[in-house]
C-alpha cells in the first residue's frame, strides 16, 4: 500500500481523492496556490503545501515544484485528478525518472490517445467503429476536397490536436471548403501550435454516450457500463446520467465491448473513458478516449457501488483489479448536475467573487462532491465548477424527482449560479422522456428560456429584491436617516461621474 499520496489538483476532485485515501488509511498531501489558502482541499488533506501564486502556470501546472515537493515529503505516488497534469505524457515520464508512481496510465497510452488522428488509426485497426473520415492529416486543399466528396457532405473539419470544441468547422458544400479549410488551419495553429487537420462525416443530432473502463497492468479489463452526457453547451457537459435512457441491452453489449477493445488497443491501465457519438439508429462511432478519471465518474459509482479512485490506486500499485466483469451489474439510475458559478441567462458569463452562504442538499439518494463552502472565493484563475450534485434512485424518473428536490434545497448565495437553469432542464418534458441529443440546449431553447425567465423575474423576484434592499437601506440609515440624506446624494453623484 502507498504510504502517502500527493494530490496535484484542487477543488472538488482533490477533496474526492483525499476522501478515498482516508478510507484506506493512506496519508494525503495537497498543494495550494495563493488563491486557495482557505480552500476545502487545503484544509481536509493530512498535509498541505503552498506551491505558488494564483496563476495555474505558477502553481498547479508547475511540474518542477510539484516533483521536488513530492520527493521532499516522501510521497510514493501522485494523483493528478482531471485537467492540469492528468493527460500530460511529459509529466508522467518525469515521474518515472524520479521513481514516483503516477496514479494513471502509462505515458505511452496518453500520447497515443492525445492525437486524434493517431487514435482514429489505432481504433480502425482494432475494429472499433470510427466516424467515417480521413485517418491521417490532409496535406492539400485538393486532397481535402476529394476526401470530403467521398465521405459526403456535410462534413466536419477538425484539428488533429484539438479539443473543447476549438478548431472545428462544419461544411455543407464544396463551395465553402476552401475558406473553411484555411480558417481551421489558422485556428489550429494558433490554439494548438499544430495545423494538422482532418475530415469527419458530420452526424446529425447525435447523442454523446461514453463507457467507463478499468484496466490493470496484468492486462485485465472490465467496463462499468455507459454514461450519457448529451446535455452540453459549447461542448461542455452540464448533466450526465448512467445508464443512458437511449441504450438498450443489445446496444449496450456492443458499445461496452468496443470500449474494452479500445482500451486493449493502447495497452491501457487505470480508469479511462471511451467516448462515442451515437446516431438516431443507435450506430455508434469512436470519438476519443479520456485517459483519466472524469468529472462525471460519480454516476457510475452510484449504479455499480464501486469506488473508482480506490481501483485507480490499487492498479497503480501493480495489483489486479479487485473485481471481475461478472461481479458488476447496473443498480438503479443516477444523474449528475454540475453546479457552476455562471449566468446561463447571460451567455453563461462566469461569475466571480465570494460565496456568502453555502448550504448543500442531503437526504436519501443524494451525494454532493464539492470543493467549496461559505466564504470560499471563486476566482478567474480556475474552472467555475462549484459542486457536483448527484442523485440516485431505482428508476430514472424518481432519480429526476430527487434531483429536483435537491436542487431546490441547494443554497449558494453571493454569486450567480446555474441552479435555476438546471431545474428547468431537468424538469423539461423532453428531458424527462429521454428525448434529446447534444443539440438540446440549442439557440431556440435558450431564447425561449430567456423569454420565460424575463417574465418570471419581473414579477415576484423583482418585488422581493426591491423589498429587501429597502429594508436594509432603512435599517442602515436608522436614526440618522434625515441627516445623511444630502450626503448620500453627493456620494452617488460622485459615483456616477467616476
* CB 76 within 8 Å of CB 3: yes
Nearer to other proteins, 365 or 384 (CB): 384
Q: Say whether 227 is catalytic.
A: no
Which positions from 199 to 238 touch other proteins by CB under 8 A, shown as an x/- string? -----------------------------------x----
CB of 391 to other proteins, least distance (A): 18
Nearer to other proteins, 174 or 489 (CB): 489
CB of 487 to other proteins, least distance (A): 9
- 496-to-107, 314, 489, 491, 492 alpha-carbon distances in Å: 57, 61, 11, 9, 6
Residue 352 binds other proteins, judged by CB under 8 A? yes
Q: Which of 257, 320, 481, 483 binds other proteins (CB under 8 A)?
A: 481
CB of 352 to other proteins, least distance (A): 6
Q: Please choose, out of 8-16, 223-231, 313-321, 455-463, the segment that lies near other proteins by the rule CB under 8 A.
A: 455-463
Q: Tell me the C-alpha distance between 202 and 172, whole Å.
A: 9
Candidates 478, 420, 362, 338; CA nearest to 13 is 338
Residue 366 binds other proteins, judged by CB under 8 A? no
- C-alpha cell read off for 146: 476529394
Residue 473 binds other proteins, judged by CB under 8 A? yes
- C-alpha cell read off for 134: 480521413
Residue 448 binds other proteins, judged by CB under 8 A? no
Q: Which of 331, 451, 472, 480 binds other proteins (CB under 8 A)?
A: 472
Q: CA 105, 338, 120, 220: dihedral to nearest 10 degrees?
A: 40
Q: Which of 125, 471, 480, 483 binds other proteins (CB under 8 A)?
A: 471
- 295-to-12, 111, 154, 211, 292 alpha-carbon distances in Å: 9, 21, 32, 14, 10
Residue 343 binds other proteins, judged by CB under 8 A? yes
Residue 183 binds other proteins, judged by CB under 8 A? no
- 377-to-345, 349, 357 alpha-carbon distances in Å: 22, 17, 12
Q: Please choose, out of 84-92, 216-224, 262-270, 344-352, the segment that lies near other proteins by the rule CB under 8 A.
A: 344-352
Q: Tell me the C-alpha distance between 320 and 311, whole Å.
A: 9
Q: Please choose, out of 3-11, 90-98, 321-329, 469-477, the segment that lies near other proteins by the rule CB under 8 A.
A: 469-477
Nearer to other proteins, 174 or 468 (CB): 468
CB of 10 to other proteins, least distance (A): 14
Query: Edge-to-edge, what's the strand order for the sheet holding 101-102?
Result: 47-52, 27-33, 4-7, 77-79, 101-102
| Contacts made by residues 54-60, CB under 8 angstroms, sequence distance 24+ | 54/379, 54/381, 55/381, 56/84, 56/381, 56/382, 58/33, 59/31, 59/32, 59/33, 59/34, 60/8, 60/9, 60/10, 60/31, 60/33, 60/84
Which positions from 406 to 445 touch other proteins by CB under 8 A, shown as an x/- string? -----xxxxxxxxxxx------------------------
Q: Tell me the C-alpha distance between 230 and 225, whole Å.
A: 16
Residue 452 binds other proteins, judged by CB under 8 A? no
* CB 59 within 8 Å of CB 31: yes
Which residue of the set 16, 207, 227, 292 is catalytic? 292
CB of 423 to other proteins, least distance (A): 9
Candidates 196, 122, 213, 202; CA nearest to 169 is 202
CB of 486 to other proteins, least distance (A): 9
Candidates 304, 306, 308; CA nearest to 295 is 308
CB of 359 to other proteins, least distance (A): 8
Catalytic residue numbers read 292
Contacts with other proteins, residue ranges (CB under 8 A): 234, 343, 345, 347-352, 356-357, 359, 374, 380-384, 411-421, 457-458, 461-477, 481, 485, 488-489, 491-493, 495-497
Amino acid at each position: 500500500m502507498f504510504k502517502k499520496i500527493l494530490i496535484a489538483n484542487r477543488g472538488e476532485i482533490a477533496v474526492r481523492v483525499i476522501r478515498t485515501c482516508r478510507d484506506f488509511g493512506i496519508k494525503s498531501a495537497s498543494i495550494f496556490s495563493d488563491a486557495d489558502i482557505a480552500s476545502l482541499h487545503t484544509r481536509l488533506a493530512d498535509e498541505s503545501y503552498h506551491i505558488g501564486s494564483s496563476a495555474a502556470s505558477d502553481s498547479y501546472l508547475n511540474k518542477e515544484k510539484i516533483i521536488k515537493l513530492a520527493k521532499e515529503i516522501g510521497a510514493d505516488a501522485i494523483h493528478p485528478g482531471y485537467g492540469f497534469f492528468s493527460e500530460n505524457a511529459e509529466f508522467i515520464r518525469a515521474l518515472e525518472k524520479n521513481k514516483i508512481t503516477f496514479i494513471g496510465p502509462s505515458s505511452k497510452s496518453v500520447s497515443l490517445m492525445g492525437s486524434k488522428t493517431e487514435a482514429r488509426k489505432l481504433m480502425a485497426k482494432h475494429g472499433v467503429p470510427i466516424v467515417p473520415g480521413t485517418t491521417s492529416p490532409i496535406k492539400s486543399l485538393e486532397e481535402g476536397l476529394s476526401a470530403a466528396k467521398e465521405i459526403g457532405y456535410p462534413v466536419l473539419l477538425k484539428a488533429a490536436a484539438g479539443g473543447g470544441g476549438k478548431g472545428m468547422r462544419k461544411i455543407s458544400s464544396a463551395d465553402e471548403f476552401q475558406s473553411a479549410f484555411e480558417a481551421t488551419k489558422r485556428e489550429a495553429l494558433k490554439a494548438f501550435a499544430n495545423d494538422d487537420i482532418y475530415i469527419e462525416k458530420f452526424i446529425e443530432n447525435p447523442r454523446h454516450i461514453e463507457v467507463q473502463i478499468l484496466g490493470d497492468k496484468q492486462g485485465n479489463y472490465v467496463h462499468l457500463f455507459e454514461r450519457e452526457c448529451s446535455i452540453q453547451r459549447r461542448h461542455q457537459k452540464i448533466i450526465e446520467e448512467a445508464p443512458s435512457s437511449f441504450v438498450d441491452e443489445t446496444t449496450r453489449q456492443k458499445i461496452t465491448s468496443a470500449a474494452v477493445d479500445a482500451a486493449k488497443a493502447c495497452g491501457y491501465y487505470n480508469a479511462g473513458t471511451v467516448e462515442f457519438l451515437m446516431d438516431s439508429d443507435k450506430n455508434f462511432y469512436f470519438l476519443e478516449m479520456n485517459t483519466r478519471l472524469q468529472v462525471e465518474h460519480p454516476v457510475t459509482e452510484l449504479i455499480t457501488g464501486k469506488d473508482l479512485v480506490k481501483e485507480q490506486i490499487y492498479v497503480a500499485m501493480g495489483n489486479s483489479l479487485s473485481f471481475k466483469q461478472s461481479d458488476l451489474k447496473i443498480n438503479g439510475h443516477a444523474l449528475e448536475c454540475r453546479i457552476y458559478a455562471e449566468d446561463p441567462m447571460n451567455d453563461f458569463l462566469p461569475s466571480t467573487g465570494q460565496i456568502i452562504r453555502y448550504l448543500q442538499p442531503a437526504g436519501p439518494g443524494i451525494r454532493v462532491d464539492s470543493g467549496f463552502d461559505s466564504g470560499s472565493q471563486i476566482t478567474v484563475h480556475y474552472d467555475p465548477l462549484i459542486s457536483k450534485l448527484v442523485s440516485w434512485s431505482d428508476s430514472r424518473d424518481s432519480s429526476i424527482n430527487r434531483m429536483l428536490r435537491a436542487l431546490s434545497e441547494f443554497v449558494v448565495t453571493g454569486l450567480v449560479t446555474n441552479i435555476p437553469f438546471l431545474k428547468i432542464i431537468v424538469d423539461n418534458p423532453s428531458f424527462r422522456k429521454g428525448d434529446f441529443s447534444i443539440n438540446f440546449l440549442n439557440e431556440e431553447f435558450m431564447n425561449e428560456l430567456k423569454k420565460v425567465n424575463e417574465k418570471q423575474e419581473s414579477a415576484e423576484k423583482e418585488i422581493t429584491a426591491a423589498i429587501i434592499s429597502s429594508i436594509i437601506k432603512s435599517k442602515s440609515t436608522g436614526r440618522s436617516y434625515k441627516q445623511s440624506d444630502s450626503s448620500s446624494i453627493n456620494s452617488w453623484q460622485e459615483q456616477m461621474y467616476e
